[in-house]
Structure 1
């Protein structure tokens, strides 16, 4: 019969157990709180016993060997602080000595042969963190402590680094930081000398860690005795050591003189080694060739040799190139401007382009990050733009960096550049335009197009910039860019200049550069900063270049008569400039802009610009000429000016649209009835080929009013088919019905087009068969004589017939294209005119003349088949009615009958069927006229009621009247709000 062993009772300190558990926590705050709680028990005032100290030291050292990463950190912190507290005072009759602690650490972290691989790794980490704790606790540097304790610790660290290369970086970091701590405490140089001696003994000098430790020792302890024959002049950064340094920093095995090798770490780390920071921060900004032979490597030489020819060599692995991109980003983000300007080296830029070009490449994401770091640096430091552009373009050997990499890196850089950087960038790009780096015409044109795009990007960015640079500084850069465009766009380049373009510019490239001038001026006019200065500077440079032939022969031929007109224009421009400097009216700037743009049109070969110059001279004399030449009536000049602006507005160019708007805005208050009628006539024109001929060729002599009546009559016939019940439906019902109606109409149009296409094909086949003397294959009849042989005369006749058939088909296709182009032109023209009318409404809404716009805008909103045009017409009319409030309502000065006629015409227009927006616009226009009439005479309200009553009667009696219910609802609402004012 056996006896149970009696269980012994142990006193367990639950608080201490919790502290040890918290030291392994993943959260920093919990670990620190636990370490603080543990250390507080071992302060000198607590007088801990030796037994307590031994237990806690044993537990902490064992905790360093834990497989949990957080435990190593927490126990290391606790061990550091506990050692500091224990040895902060001298302990009498105590067995706790440094020697005992070292022995405990060595014994507990020793990896025995019978352990598993993971257990051995844990013990190695325990030794590493234990060494760090003892060094940080400063117990080894106490004057009373034997120096052998320090040497023993560093020997164990270097031994671990030598045997386990994958721990070498961490071991090196401990010694590296220790050197700075020794310097801060002003310790004896013997501690550093011992570390350097052991570094060489363990063959670790020729490693990244060894280089970092050596450099730190040279800086912190320059008087120390360094081991001889390790580095030339005892400096790893000596320019003669650049080859060895390159191999060491990329962790390539280096054979030393004694035949031993520094083993590679064997482990790739995605983070940069700390040695790179140590080396980068110590490279000089000077060229070693210009100094004594012992000078250190300059940053430029270091980067070229170690990074570009080392990490980015063609034979380098992707892992080393990854490090290279990390260094590139580091220098761009943190380096000085001098250092950052040297990182765009040949191999690096080539690798950057290759990795950016294809998304599935291994380093593509790193390359994208690097490419974004460049404009980010420029955004913070705009002066860096010049170095970045020079590095990316000149180093890569190709101008189209952005196209090759499918990014907008260079474009973003030049857009962020400041004046200082642009003074270097613009001449560089100008040189690239002249000499694009290739003699092949096709590639040269491609490169020049890209450079022109970059210059345009600069103009656009500066046109919209805030207060980064003064306006004068920006203007000098902008004028320089446009001068570059002018030089290559208008001249053959065979002048006396030093750099004659090679190869010569093609006509297509020169045309593109002229378009770039227009685009640049468009951006500058949008900001209105340089509207009166830069366009004038452009045409003046063209004129001067044509006279002096400095840039070569002028490519535009100008006859004597046109030359005289241009000469008079420049005389007017000179007078305008002198008056503008005196601070006279803003109309001067508008005229100056208009003159400049007209002359630019002349230089671009526009034949219509000749007559425009003569008309401009007439307008200038009327508006701004000398007192002796001015005449009281300027209506003719105003009408001519409107016609000129319409000529510009009709062009497919955003520049001329913007220019016409600016000039029109300056003279809107001087527009006459005839000038306004010119605008209205365009709104009334058809959106077709006939409408285009009416506007530009004047071939169609039909009266506009007759067209209106015809159009309205057609609408009325269609509207007779609408159910009468729809008249009482609200807006939503009308919209739904109209939507379905428009859908059915579009379906019908599509079917009609298909039928027309089929009929056209059938007609063509019939003509073709007739010409060949055959029938279609699916015809029932067969020509028995079709197989008979034909003589030469018959063959010639068949050829001629075929030619006529195909010629007729081509003419039909051309007519279709002409109709389509004409429709697009008229839509564009109406859009431009609506923009001008909107400007007129904003400036002259209180003018009685502006009321003439109401009816044309309403008709356009109803008749136009283009949603954009109809919507814009409604928008302008809505803006007009909003502006006419209170005292801004137009005043009737004289006969009110035309206004009454307009009210009745608006009511007639409201009776036509149209989109919902048209009904709302009709009501707004009617109420505006009512306000005008009532403001002139309150008694007129009675007649206004009669007009509305007449419209109501028409709604009830006629099936052709489709006035909407909202028309009367809004009238009733107005009556309620206006009743109090009318009674007073």
Structure 2
């Protein structure tokens, strides 16, 4: 009987023939983790180092296994096995290793590669595909190992690899680019390791023999060979001028790079027919573009600022040549497919990310820009996402290199783009870019914008006006950016940059070029419409509004602009001045400029205190002259008043004896500025008022108080602006037609307005019925019918009836106009009062120690109570609070010589506190009362008992009179003050 064999012993004998560790290494080579794959490759290669002395059988088995692993369907396996194979081949066939007695050789390894990568029998499509990839990766591993380029290895082995790769490229067009990439990289390896140039020559010959020279891969390989081996022998009759990048080969190159290779006549005995297309569209750029573009970046004539057409000795094409012919006229041609346009967008993004700035500026070409704008404009277009990516690449370049904003704006808005790029694409690209322009960049952009305004590229007048409107808006954005970015108030950089913008606006706002204009390119075509000129003037004023606020020398830019306009009017260099002015007005303007000249001389030698007054007058004069230029009739008389003010404030000493009168006139001028519906003139009035606030007289202060006390009505507006003609010839339809208001200035309630509307409608219907001789259906039901009368009306009667009906409707329209006029008048007065309150806030901040400021207490308190416009009431309370806030310490309150007026004012404030009013009014009364208490105590500490009596009298009224509505907070504030004051007195 045979001896019993234990099962476990049998398993041990079986495993002794299997290298478990090697199995694990092969498994790890296919792992998706990079670190695991690399580690496994290292462990495998370490088994075949010379010191391990592996047998031929071991080497052959591992090569078979590695080549077979390249054909695996697992993607990670190809990468891992390829790395291991490359390094194993380098170790096994190392020149330092003696293989004379070995049965292994390079040809044997290539045989193994061929055998393992060839599909046997009937296989599925996927298996066949895997084997093709295995052959591709195997060839790459063999080439990378450099074993083919050893001196003892026959050249035929290299040509054999080349033939197999090119056969694969032709057989499977979807692998053509990968095959070309391997050959392309091999040229670099040959050059870097200084292998014999014969290998490069063999590669070029094989490329041409296989009819693939005029493919994107062929272009890359040929160009790389020219760059790496300039002296080697190249195949003849391929490129007539020696290089795909020759300037005369650009048309052929364009066909190749968009995958439409031109036909080639086959050479005798060779299959050198037309190269096939790759067959499958790839959403990624071909690798050939990387090398071609990098080559163009270096060799382009534009690199050294040479003009187009001046090429190097080899006549290589410039970047502009290739981009225009290959990309713009090729990929972006109107008949080009969406897929090719997609490649074009990828090239644009690549260039925008990588190209030097001077070359990146050249890619905004005609066909590209047309496609770019079309795709951006509509979200659901096929190439919208890639166009958006291209747009972001421009913005990113500007973010990295702020100076690139100049070529970006010129490219997007220039001749090949569109001035209204933002409007077409429904983006804010230009708006955002232009808001980030630096002062230096602005100098380069201004001439371009000037040309765009003059020639927007459209014949339609309305379209041109719309485009010019957008450009004017961009210029305003530039000024805002410059003003916010420049911290120094008197910066020369700011002055220069914004002046150029304002003068550009002024040129088109005030002048029409004459026939003898020297710069024909700046003659507007179509002509600038009057409405557009007005718009430019408004934009210029908006720019000035941005510039004068809170600056040390607010008058510098307005003065420079108005002086330039005046000089250009006299010289005629900008053309004819569009504003018609009489001789009297011209004389007033000329006189004003003489004064401005004097102010400029005074400014140079003025002390700091006097300089603020000079700046104020320069600003006033400049802005008033601009008003004259804008056609404001009142501005001329203001110039005369300014002349009087100047003589009294800053003129000869002998003329300064009427300073009070001059101050009052100045206040009137500032109120005139403040009344205008313009933020610019509001800021101007504030700037100037701040300089002269301490010289305001009681009369001037009263002028401002009068505005606050005027009714918010049409009558109030007419009274304030002395406009007696407004509405005087309008016939009222309603019965009372009165616009009288209550004494407290309150407006009609909504119910009263509705009743007025009902009454107006009824009156209209009554008049219409009278004209027609009819009646309403719900009136006079028993009235006889007038049908028979209507039927008997002749033509004359009908004509008379038409006239009566027309009069009725005309009267109704006039009534509606009157209502609108009332509404507008109210808005005007509310705006005016807000502006006056702005001025008074400046006054109380600067002059809170003046006793004259006390005159504001009662008007402000009454305004917080009487005004039905919440905004005005709140604003008045804020001004009063600002006043009392600045009167904190004893040194900050007015010092009075006579306390009697203060006592009277305190009693008046207490009386005001008894009125029924909003809670804010009570707080304001309390603040005013305590301010007066502080003033009285500072004047005479012994008056406390009398102050207590005043508060006591008010408390008595609260307890005994129903008409007294004083709020509890009025007394609680007083109590708190008493506690605080008693502590201070005891210390």
Q: Which whole-Å CA distance do the structure 2 matches of 1:298 and 1:394 have between them?
A: 22
Whether 1:540 and 2:543 are equivalent positions in the alignment is no
CA distance in 2, matches of 1:213, 1:85: 29
Taking structure 2 as the reference length, the TM-score comes to 0.87
Q: 1: CA distance between counterparts of 2:488 and 2:330?
A: 40
Aligned twin of 2:543: 520
The Cα shift of 1:811 comes to 1.9
Report if aligned partners of 1:775, 1:783 keep a CA contact under 8 Å in 2.
Answer: no
Deviation string 1:90-137 (CA, Å, 9 cap, x unpaired) is 267666654444333333222335221122222222222333333333
Alpha carbons of structure 1 residues 80 and 943: separation in structure 2 relative to 1, 3 Å: farther
Secondary structure of the residue aligned to 2:263 is coil
Shift of 1:960: 4.1
Shift of 1:813: 0.3
Summarize the Cα distance change of 1:793–1:213 in structure 2 as closer, same or farther, 3 Å threshold: closer
Equivalent of residue 596 in structure 2, options 573, 579, 604: 573
C-alpha distance in 2, partners of 1:328/1:155?
35
Q: How far apart are 1:252 and its partner, in Å?
A: 1.4
- Which 10-residue stretch deviates more, 326-335 or 448-457? 448-457
Choose from 835, 844, 848 the match for 1:845.
848
> In structure 1, which of residues 684, 693, 707 is the aligned counterpart of residue 718 of structure 2?
693
Mapped to 2, the partners of 1:15 and 1:844 lie a distance apart of 95
Structure-2 separation of matches of 1:168 and 1:467: 60
Worse-superposed segment, 830-839 or 755-764: 755-764
Q: Which residue of 1 aligns with 2:282?
A: 269
Alignment of 1:80-99 (within 5 A): 80-87=86-93, 90=97, 97-99=105-107
Deviating more after overlay: 122-131 vs 317-326: 122-131
Task: Give, in angstroms, the shift of residue 920 of structure 1.
Answer: 4.1
Q: For 1:152-551, what aligned pairs fall within 5 Å after superposition?
A: 152-258=160-266, 260-283=273-296, 284-286=299-301, 289-291=309-311, 294-396=314-416, 398-418=418-438, 421-466=441-486, 471-494=491-514, 496-498=516-518, 499=520, 500-526=523-549, 528=551, 531-551=554-574
Structure 1 residue 315 displacement after superposition: 0.5
What is the Cα deviation at residue 246 of structure 1?
Answer: 0.5
- CA distance in structure 2 between the aligned counterparts of 1:428 and 1:563, rounded to whole angstroms: 34
Counterpart of 2:663?
638
Output one character per residue of 1:553-588: Cα deviation in whole Å (capped at 9) or x when no partner. Answer: 433333333333222211110011112223541221
Alignment of 1:572-651 (within 5 A): 572-584=595-607, 585-631=611-657, 634-651=659-676
User: How far is the alpha carbon of 1:941 from its aligned partner?
Assistant: 4.3
Comparing 341-350 and 479-488, the one that deviates more? 479-488
In the other structure, the counterpart of 1:727 is: none
Structure 1 residue aligned with 2:132, among 100, 124, 127?
124
Matched residue, 1:763: 763
1:690, distance to aligned residue in structure 2 (A):
3.1
Tell me by how many angstroms 1:884 deviates. 3.4
In structure 2, distance between residues paired with 1:40 and 1:864: 96
Q: Is the 8 A contact 1:25 1:70 kept in 2?
A: yes
Q: 2:148 aligns with which of 140, 165, 168?
A: 140
Q: 1:253 touches 1:261 (CA, 8 Å); kept in 2?
A: yes
Distance 1:859 1:117, change over 3 A: farther
1:222–1:794 distance in 2 versus 1, CA, 3 Å: closer
Query: Contact 1:372/1:409 (CA < 8 Å) preserved in 2?
Result: no
> Aligned equivalents of 2:75 and 2:872: distance in 1?
70
| 1:654 equivalent in alignment to 2:679 | yes
1:10 has 2:15 as partner: yes
Shift of 1:346: 1.3
CA RMSD of aligned residues (A): 3.5
**Cα distance, 1:158–1:708 mapped onto 2, change above 3 Å:** same
Q: Which moved more, 1:296-305 or 1:106-115?
A: 106-115
**The residue matched to 2:274 in structure 1 has which SS?**
coil
TM superposition shift of 1:437:
4.2
Unaligned residue ranges in structure 2 (runs of 5+)? 267-271, 302-306, 726-739
SS of residue matched to 1:448: helix
Question: Is 1:677 the counterpart of 2:696 in the alignment?
Answer: no
Preserved contact between residue 398 and residue 405 of structure 2 (Cα < 8 Å): yes
- What is the distance in 2 between the residues matched to 1:927 and 1:71? 90
Q: Contact 2:173 / 2:277 at 8 angstroms: preserved in 1?
A: yes
Q: Distance in 1 between matches of 2:866 and 2:196?
A: 98
Deviations along 1:295-354, whole A, 9 cap, x unmatched? 011111111110111000010011111111121122222212331232121111111222
Query: 1:236–1:245: 8 Å Cα contact kept in structure 2?
Result: yes
Correspondence for 1:68: 74
- Within the alignment, does 1:711 sit opposite 2:724 as a pair? no
* Structure 2 CA distance for aligned equivalents of residues 305 and 5 of structure 1: 82
Alignment counterpart, residue 887 of structure 2, candidates 855, 876, 884? 884
CA shift for structure 1 position 429:
3.1
Moved more, 370-379 or 304-313: 370-379
Question: Partners in 1 of 2:70 and 2:103 — Cα distance?
Answer: 23
- Could you say if the C-alpha distance between residues 205 and 815 of structure 1 is closer, same or farther in structure 2, counting changes exceeding 3 Å? same
Q: Kindly tell me: are residues 594 and 32 of structure 1, through their superposed partners in 2, closer, same or farther at Cα, counting changes over 3 Å?
A: farther
Once the two structures are TM-superposed, the CA of residue 795 in structure 1 deviates from its matched residue by 4.3
Compare 219-228 and 518-527 and name the one that shifted more. Answer: 518-527
CA 1:468 to 1:673, structure 2 compared with 1: closer, same or farther past 3 Å? closer
Q: In 1, are the aligned partners of 2:698 and 2:852 still within 8 Å (CA)?
A: yes
Please report how far the alpha carbon of residue 218 of structure 1 lies from its aligned counterpart in structure 2 after TM superposition. Answer: 0.9
Counterpart among 562, 568, 577 of residue 554 in structure 1: 577
Residues 143 and 543 (structure 1), Cα distance of their counterparts in 2 relative to 1, 3 Å cut: same
Query: What residue number does 2:896 align with?
Result: 893
1:577 and 1:37, CA in 2 relative to 1: closer, same or farther beyond 3 A? Answer: farther
User: How far apart, in 1, do the equivalents of 2:404 and 2:334 lie?
Assistant: 28
Identify if the C-alpha distance between structure 1 residues 865 and 468 changes in structure 2 by more than 3 Å, giving closer, same or farther.
closer
Q: Is the 8 A contact 2:364 2:417 kept in 1?
A: no
Describe the SS at the equivalent of 2:126. Answer: helix
* Residues 288 and 296 in structure 1, CA contact (< 8 A), matched pair in contact too: no
TM-score, normalised by the number of residues in structure 1: 0.87
Q: Deviations over 1:172-201 (max 9, x none)?
A: 222222322322222221221122122222
Matched residue SS, 1:232: coil
> Residues 950, 542 of structure 1: CA spacing in aligned structure 2 closer, same or farther, 3 A cutoff?
same
CA distance in structure 1 between the aligned counterparts of 2:892 and 2:387, rounded to whole angstroms: 64
